Amino acid sequence: MSTTPTAPPDAAAPGPGPTPPVYVAHTPAPYGAAPLGAMVRPRTLENPEIALRERAVLAMIRGDEAPRSIAMRFGLPLEEIFYWLDVYREAGRKALGG
């Protein structure tokens, strides 16, 4: 006498499987595409880094302080500050996200 377990009849035939996820195309920003692939988001209280980014870039333009000192003061990587400075010079203040 064999005691081999058997699967219920409905489990024997494999089904189509789980539904794959649906990917939705990214909606463009309201101001169009920003230079260098920068993401443009509206200025809101949920987005305080925009003001920080603007202040850091404007401090770099003033030139009263060393870039490394500005990066430390604002808590941003030096490369990011130079990136946003280039974005500002290329497309203006709106491109910083504000």
Domain ranges of the chain: 53-98
Model pLDDT for residues 81-97, shown as the tens digit of each residue: 999 999 999 998 888 87
Q: Is the pTM of this model over 0.75?
A: no
With b for 16 or more beta-carbon neighbours within 10 A and e for fewer, the 3-18 pattern comes to eeeeeeeeeeeeeeee
How high is the pLDDT of residue 65?
Answer: 93
For the segment 55-66, the average pLDDT, to the nearest whole number, is 93
How high is the pLDDT of residue 31?
Answer: 47
Contact of 43 with 97, CB cutoff 8 Å: yes
Q: Determine phi and psi for 9, rounding to 5 degrees.
A: -60, -35
Percentage of the chain exceeding pLDDT 90: 33
Q: Give the residue, 30 or 64, on which the prediction is more confident.
A: 64
How high is the pLDDT of residue 3?
Answer: 62
